Amino acid sequence: MTSNIAAEHEPMPRGRALVLRVVLAALTAFLAVNLYTGAPLLAIWIGSRVQQGTQLTMGTVAVVIGVLVVTVAILVYLLTRVEAAYKTVTGQKTSRRTSPWLRSMRGERDEEMRRKPLTGYEKSLVIAVVVAAAAFEIWFFFFSGSPIG
C-alpha cells in the first residue's frame, strides 16, 4: 500500500505535464464555448424535433428549457472536473471555498492583500468568453443586418 501512496505523489515528467496542461486548457475552452453555444443550439434542435406543426406549444418550450438546464448542468460539472484535473497536474493545492455571504467582513482586507494571479484554467475560460463576446459584437454590428425597414 505504501508503494501506491508514494507513486501517487511522484512528480509527473515535465514534457507529459506540459502536454496534459495544454490538453486540459483546450478542453476547458471547448466546454466553455459549448456552454453558451452548443447547449442552446442542442436544446433548440431537440425542441424543433418535438414540435408538431407550425404553432409553438408550451410543451415544446418546456422541452427546450429542460434540455438546456440538463446540458448546462452537465457542462458545468465537466468544467469543475477539468479544473480539478488541472490543479492536480499543476500541483496547486485545493482549498475549501467559502461563499461570499458567509465570509467575515473583517476578512476582506486580508483577502485583498493576498490576490493571486489567474491560473491557466481561469485564463482559458476568460479567453473563451472574450472571444465569444467579440465574435457576437462583430456579427451584431457588421453582419446581422438591420431589422428596421
72 vs 142, more confident? 72
Whole-number pLDDT of residue 76: 92
94 vs 62, more confident? 62
| pLDDT band at 114; cut points 50, 70, 90 | low
Whole-number pLDDT of residue 93: 74
120 within 8 A of 20, measured Cβ to Cβ: no
Task: For the chain, give the mean pLDDT.
Answer: 81
Q: What does the alpha-carbon distance between residue 100 and residue 47 come to, in Å, rounded to a whole number?
A: 37
86 within 8 A of 24, measured Cβ to Cβ: yes
Mean pLDDT of 113-134: 81
| pLDDT band at 89; cut points 50, 70, 90 | confident
Q: Is the pLDDT of residue 9 over 60?
A: no
| pLDDT band at 112; cut points 50, 70, 90 | low
Q: What does the alpha-carbon distance between residue 119 and residue 139 come to, in Å, rounded to a whole number?
A: 30
Q: Is the pLDDT of residue 27 over 50?
A: yes
Q: Tell me whether residue 116 is exposed, middle or buried, using C-beta atoms within 10 angstroms of its C-beta: 0 to 12, 13 to 18, 19 or more.
A: exposed
| pLDDT band at 4; cut points 50, 70, 90 | very low
